Structure 1
Amino acid sequence: MSGATMTEKHHPYHLVDPSPWPIVGALSALVTMVGLVLFMHGYGLIVSGLGLAMVLFTMFAWWRDVVKESQTRVHHTPQVQFGLRMGMALFITSEVMFFVAFFWSFFNSSLFPAPEIGGIWPPKGVEPINPFDLPYLNTLLLLLSGTTITWAHHEITNPEHRKMVLQGLGFTVLLGLIFTSVQAFEYAHAEFGFKDNVFSSNFYMATGFHGLHVIIGTIFLIVCWFRAKAGQFTPKSHVGFEAAAWYWHFVDVVWLFLFVCIYWWGSGR
């Protein structure tokens, strides 16, 4: 049997070539966690920094390979694209459960306030942030960003509208950067610290991790902007863009729950 016949593809799936990134990623995560444990005991900052750099490098290199594979229809067939979409959907589902834990903690503390905090919510002495000040502005920013990313998603189905795709992505990235800046300003002027009480701990954990997701989503969209500019997305093949759009919509929805539950209802206003 000839070599050409042996390597001929008789299925629509992508059997990836051997890759070093899974084992490198696992080792990078191990180094990072060891460094964090050491850091919690007063040292190990260099180890955790090295591990984080290794994780970031692994992410860059691994996703670079996936982007290269996406440039050929031989690899990213419709069946493979469907699998990638389902993988992203399951990842977002796991992220939903991640935030459910924070909301669970918040409602457990607020609906049944302990005697140690005065039996009231918010705890005595806490001055919550006015939900209709900066948080309301950030809500409007994220809602607007949801429309701009949807606009870009709609235009990407037309190969002649690449300029509009870039505009929609650009506006979304800008709104994400403004959101992060406003939240950083809000944190800098908050009248309570992370370790003050259960209210502040829940507040900073929930909103802080959401802010981290906004930063990650913004980077995701910036990469998509450069890929769109390079013409790597087509009406029939733009899974990377869809994943970024889904992730951004997830970030939007989580913020709405944070605004209503923690900023508004949780502040006792």
Structure 2
Amino acid sequence: MNASSPIGIFDSGIGGLTVAHAVTRLLPNENIIYFGDTAHLPYGDKSSAAIQAYSIKICNVLLQQKCKVILIACNSASAAAYELVKEYVGSKAKVINVIDPVIDYIDHHYRGKTVGLIGTKQTVNSNIYRKKTDALGKDIVLKSLATPLLAPMIEEGFFNNNISESIIYQYLANEELSGIEALILGCTHYPLIKSQIDSFYKENITILDTSEIVAAALKKYLSQSSLLNNLNAYIRHFYVSDYTQSFERSTQIFFGEQIRLEHYPLWE
């Protein structure tokens, strides 16, 4: 590992691009290698064993690229595969998930308060956020709701319209989320519907954008480890396990700029 080595980021699809985008905004000099496992999306309805198998395969690709950090930019994979990936990678790279930085954030900002969480079935049913929140011992009440329609809806481009608004509002009106003071967007797709979530709550609830929190945690780690890349030139490479032109166009919406995707089948 050295400062100029790339940061590897992976997700089941394009949701992780919200994390990648936040990272490039905060760390513009860093080299980025992104892997979207589009052949197996979404991870939210997959078994833990399947997610673990996909994650290890992807990590092999990222380790071949000499990544200094592997960022699991998916809540479902963070819940199901983080410990296995960390053990598998060992000392070859630092492994960061998208859950622990959020837990650390609410530890410092929401002690004694009620916080909501929306995410995939895999993330919510794993109870990982609740276990980690309870372990803090800071009287934080966590209210969780699985919102399984949101990620595939966003993947298909249905956001910022009446269809998506109806589904989002239906979920957020659920009694399970009553009385919350902040809401964790427990899926990396969800920052793309943040404006609609803000609209539902009339901006009276703080919406915690996990992509920004995770990017800040990554910067802190690189700085403390003297691994910040100070070179002006950078490389950004984007792989997908299944390629379509429509998917490539969708990534431009997620990332905010034109991106060329390279097809990299995982199982060949």
Q: Same fold (TM over 0.5)?
A: no
Q: TM tier, shorter chain?
A: under 0.3
Q: TM-score, with normalisation over the residues of structure 2?
A: 0.24
Larger strand share, 1 or 2: 2
Larger helix share, 1 or 2: 1
Structure with the greater alpha carbon radius of gyration: 1
Q: Which has the higher contact order (CA 8 A, sep 6+)?
A: 2
